[in-house]
Amino acid sequence: MKLYTYAGAPNPRRVHIYLAEKGIEVPFEHVDIMKRENRTPEFMKRVNALGGLPVLELDDGSHITESVAICRYFEVEHPQPPLFGVTAKEQGRVEMWIRRIELNLMTPVGMVWVHGSPLTKQVMKRQIPEVAEQNRGLVRGVFRFLDRRLADHEFLAGATYSVADILLLCGMDFAAKLNDLPHSDEQKHLSRWYDAVSARPSSSA
């Protein structure tokens, strides 16, 4: 078993934080996305036809792609501590917030990255600055929504830390550090949450 990964990218980072929370050690192979090693014909034929990271290679040679799917695999193999919830209600809420972060935060941040970052300009046929600016506004709106949510909840899905918190942390860091889209200091509830989860040892995994 090994994990194909790239240090600093938000989706691989999700899995590294999850594994650190669980205390699971998995060998990994670094794939340089800046050199497009994940887009070589060999990698796409043998590892992931879509060329994305992370990818978990199992002992039988098969592969699981997509960060949340990889975390779910390990959740079954290593259920403690639970990071997807325990009861039906908890699991439903975690799943709900996973979807909300994926659709409402990561999608617009991704559009800012594609259409507004100088790092992606060299691989884009045409960047559309108006698309980047429109999505910056969407991201700021999501931060306001999350600040209201966290006014009376310790963690995103409720009283306990979960995969949803991991996704939000990675999404916020991606927005702030690579897209110049930090949340506002005036969003004190979101700031309280961010400081707390960033201080967890797993966050630097």
Residue pLDDT, tens place only, 109-146: 999 999 999 888 877 889 999 999 999 999 999 999 99
* Bridge partner residues of 56 (DSSP): 3, 64
Model pTM? 0.96
Same domain for 68 and 94, yes or no, is no
Report yes or no on 143 lying in a domain. yes
Q: What is the CATH number of the domain that holds 171?
A: 1.20.1050.10
> Mean pLDDT lowest for which of 60-69, 111-120, 142-151?
111-120
Q: Model confidence over 95-108: pLDDT tens digits?
A: 999 999 999 999 99
CA-wise closest residue to 136 among 183, 97, 101, 170: 183
111 and 196 in a single domain? The answer is yes
User: What is the extent of the structural domain holding 23?
Assistant: 2-77
The answer on pLDDT for 31 being more than 80 is yes
Is 34 a domain residue?
yes
Question: pLDDT tens across 39-58, in order?
Answer: 999 999 999 999 999 999 99
Confidence band for 205, pLDDT divided at 50, 70 and 90: confident
Q: Evaluate if residue 180 carries a pLDDT over 80.
A: yes
With cut-offs at 50, 70 and 90, classify the pLDDT of residue 20: very high
The 3-class SS string of the chain reads: CEEEECCCCHHHHHHHHHHHHHCCCCCEEECCCCCCHHHCHHHHHHCCCCCCCCEEECCCCCEEECHHHHHHHHHHHCCCCCCCCCCHHHHHHHHHHHHHHHHHHHHHHHHHHHHHCHHHHCCCCCCCHHHHHHHHHHHHHHHHHHHHHCCCCCECCECCCCHHHHHHHHHHHHHHHHHCCCCCCCCHHHHHHHHHHHCCHHHHC
Q: Are residues 56 and 107 in the same domain?
A: no
The confidence score (pLDDT) of residue 121 equals 81
CATH number, position 7:
3.40.30.10
User: Of 24, 43, 77, which residue is a domain's last?
Assistant: 77
**Closest of 101, 108, 75 to residue 64, by C-alpha:** 75
Q: Specify whether 69 is located in the same domain as 97.
A: no
> Does residue 56 sit in the same domain as residue 102?
no
Residue-level pLDDT at 123:
77
pLDDT in tens, 187-201: 999 999 999 999 999
Buried b (16+ CB within 10 A) or exposed e, 110-126: bbbbbbbeeeeeeeeee
Are residue 19 and residue 108 in the same domain, yes or no? no
Across residues 7-31, what is the average pLDDT? 96
How high is the pLDDT of residue 129?
Answer: 94
- Judgement on whether residues 123 and 179 belong to the same structural domain of the protein: yes
Q: What is the pLDDT of residue 56?
A: 98
At residue 193, the pLDDT reads: 98
Domain boundary among 77, 104, 127: 77
Same domain, 146 and 184: yes
Query: 158 has which bridge partners?
Result: 155
The pLDDT assigned to 22 comes to 98
